[in-house]
């Protein structure tokens, strides 16, 4: 409601007969059911080994960089966020990797299946999705994760911190929050002279050619323009 009011105030400042208006979000939004301490779970599953387990008994939030990771016995570790990024300790790629390269795909599939078997705090089945970056992106650069994990289809946020009585948290570990990202964002376009509303589906690739077209610039970009 507050956002609608602010948009209304802005529109009153514009001449809509001369101005194109675009409202766009870079992601969607959905209610957050809770957060899941993914690294704590990896320790419970003996995929992440640490030399100072006593730190998890101090009754406080523990950050990953406080752990003394035993890399000689560690298979996987993770980052938190709206989705989790899971990394494997691959020999020849990581400084102290232990997973033989020829076993990489087998181990990744095994860890992915284990992650997808995670159930909710009351034993309810989760719709967890695991993606391999090279299978969903045409180009994967930099230190890409080995897996991208949507816990219960993004209904649960991934927490990278540890030290909790349970890996299931009621709140975001980074502070109060009641929402998480979702796949489908918002795109609304008003053009001068537009008389009726139309609904359609777009992809993220359609935004750039559309905005450029409004400025009279035609570029051979991936995507389509509605104007």
3-class DSSP string for 5-64? HHHHHHHHCCCCCCCCEEEECCCEEEECCEEEEHHHHHHHCCCCCECCHHHHHCCCCECH
Residues 36 and 86 in one domain: yes
Tokens of 137: 């992106």
pLDDT digits (tens, 9 = 90+) for 107-160: 999 999 999 999 999 999 999 999 999 999 888 888 899 999 999 999 999 999
pTM: 0.86
pLDDT digits (tens, 9 = 90+) for 9-18: 999 999 989 9
Tokens of 199: 């609904």
pLDDT digits (tens, 9 = 90+) for 147-177: 999 999 999 999 999 999 999 998 888 877 8
* Angstrom distance (rounded) from CA 70 to CA 49: 5
Q: Which domain holds residue 19?
A: 2-26+187-214
Residues 19 and 35 in one domain: no
Tokens of 80: 């938190």
When pLDDT is averaged across residues 58-75 and rounded to a whole number, the result is 96
- Looking at residue 161, its pLDDT comes to 96
Domain count across the chain: 2
Asked if 169 and 34 count as a contact pair (C-beta separation under 8 A), the reply is yes
Residues 8 and 85 in one domain: no
User: Is position 50 within any domain?
Assistant: yes
Asked if 118 and 36 count as a contact pair (C-beta separation under 8 A), the reply is yes
- What ranges make up the beta strands (E) of 137-195? 147-150, 156-159, 168-169, 179-182, 187-190
Asked if 226 and 203 count as a contact pair (C-beta separation under 8 A), the reply is no
C-alpha to C-alpha distances, 8 to 2, 11, 14, 218, nearest whole angstrom: 10, 5, 10, 31
C-alpha to C-alpha distances, 215 to 30, 74, 208, nearest whole angstrom: 34, 53, 11
Residues 113 and 45 in one domain: yes
User: Is position 226 within any domain?
Assistant: no
* Angstrom distance (rounded) from CA 211 to CA 7: 20
φ and ψ at residue 101, rounded to 5 degrees: -55, -35
Residues 8 and 110 in one domain: no
The residue count of the chain comes to 227
User: Is position 11 within any domain?
Assistant: yes
Asked if 2 and 9 count as a contact pair (C-beta separation under 8 A), the reply is no
Residues 121 and 210 in one domain: no
- Looking at residue 91, its pLDDT comes to 97
**Does position 61 have pLDDT exceeding 90, yes or no?**
yes
Asked if 98 and 59 count as a contact pair (C-beta separation under 8 A), the reply is no
* Angstrom distance (rounded) from CA 227 to CA 216: 10
């Amino acid at each position: 409601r507050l956002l609608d009011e602010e948009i209304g105030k802005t529109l009153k400042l514009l001449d809509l007969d001369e101005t194109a208006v675009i409202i766009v979000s870079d992601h969607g939004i959905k209610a957050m059911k809770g957060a899941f301490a993914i690294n704590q779970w990896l320790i419970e599953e003996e995929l992440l080994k640490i030399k100072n387990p006593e730190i998890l008994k101090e009754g406080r939030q523990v950050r990953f960089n406080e752990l003394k990771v035993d890399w000689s016995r560690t298979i996987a570790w993770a980052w938190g966020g709206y989705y989790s990024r899971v990394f494997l300790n691959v020999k020849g790629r990581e400084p102290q990797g232990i997973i033989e390269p020829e076993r990489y795909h087998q181990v990744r599939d095994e860890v992915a299946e284990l992650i997808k078997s995670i159930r909710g705090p009351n034993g309810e089945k989760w719709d967890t999705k695991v993606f391999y970056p090279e299978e969903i992106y045409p180009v994967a650069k930099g230190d890409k994760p080995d897996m991208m994990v949507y816990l219960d289809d993004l209904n649960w946020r991934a927490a990278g911190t540890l030290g909790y009585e349970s890996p299931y948290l009621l709140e975001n570990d980074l502070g109060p929050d009641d929402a998480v990202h979702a796949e489908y964002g918002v795109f609304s376009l008003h053009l001068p002279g537009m008389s009726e509303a139309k609904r359609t589906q777009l992809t993220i690739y359609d935004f750039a050619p559309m905005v450029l077209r409004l400025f009279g610039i035609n570029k051979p970009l991936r995507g389509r323009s509605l104007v």
